[in-house]
Amino acid sequence: MKTYNIIAGTNGVGKSSFTGVIRLRENLGVRIDVDKIAATSSISDIEAGKRAIKIIDDSIGNGVCFTQETTLSGKKTSRTVRDAKAKGYSIRLFYIGLDTAEESIKRIANRVSKGGHNIKSDDVLRRFGKRFVVLKEILPFCDEALFFDNDNGFIEVAEYKSGELLIKTEKMPKWLVELKEYLKNEK
């Protein structure tokens, strides 16, 4: 089966680390990470983004399984989900959350201190404030949507099924409470 995996969450939540964990048990196909493309090709983020779009388009055109890491901060993922669904792909979403933008910023600073890439704090704050907008748009197209909290390791806390967010934890992280409320109010 053709599968489009989306590993999503704001900057600094651990998308690349999560990808490393699940690739051991899941067929991720072609992996697309703009940050990795930029770092390994020594090109700008804009050029890396263009290259990622081409890889995504080629994957869909060739019917290849692929995985995209994304902050869901633009409209491209929403269009890609619709296109992939129309071409017979199964869509799987793995969403990773943190409670605050400040925690994301701290994790990014830690990553930079170890030689990783930086993201401007203004960009993190802007994306964090809109983190559920595109998520809400793509959820109806997902065949499977799992939600993980990364406060201290990747803990599965919810699943989206039949139009409903099903909670799988007794103590909901703040971001999950906010997501549940957002989905309820935006119907």
pTM above 0.95, yes or no: no
CA pseudo-torsion sign 59, 88, 71, 20? negative
Phi/psi of residue 164, nearest 5 degrees:
-135, 140
Domains and CATH numbers, the chain: 3-185 (3.40.50.300)
Question: What's the pLDDT score for residue 186?
Answer: 58
The predicted pLDDT at position 93 comes to 97
**Which token pair is 165?**
């967010």
pLDDT recorded at residue 19: 94
pLDDT, residue 39, reads 81
- Residues in the chain predicted with pLDDT less than 70, given as ranges, are 186-187
Question: How does pLDDT run across 112-160, given as a tens digit for each residue?
Answer: 888 877 888 898 889 899 999 999 999 999 999 999 999 988 999 999 9
Q: How many helices (H) and strands (E) does the chain have?
A: 8, 7
Indicate the burial class of 183 (C-beta count within 10 angstroms; 0-12, 13-18, 19 or more): middle
- Asked whether the CA dihedral 51, 21, 16, 81 is positive or negative, the reply is positive
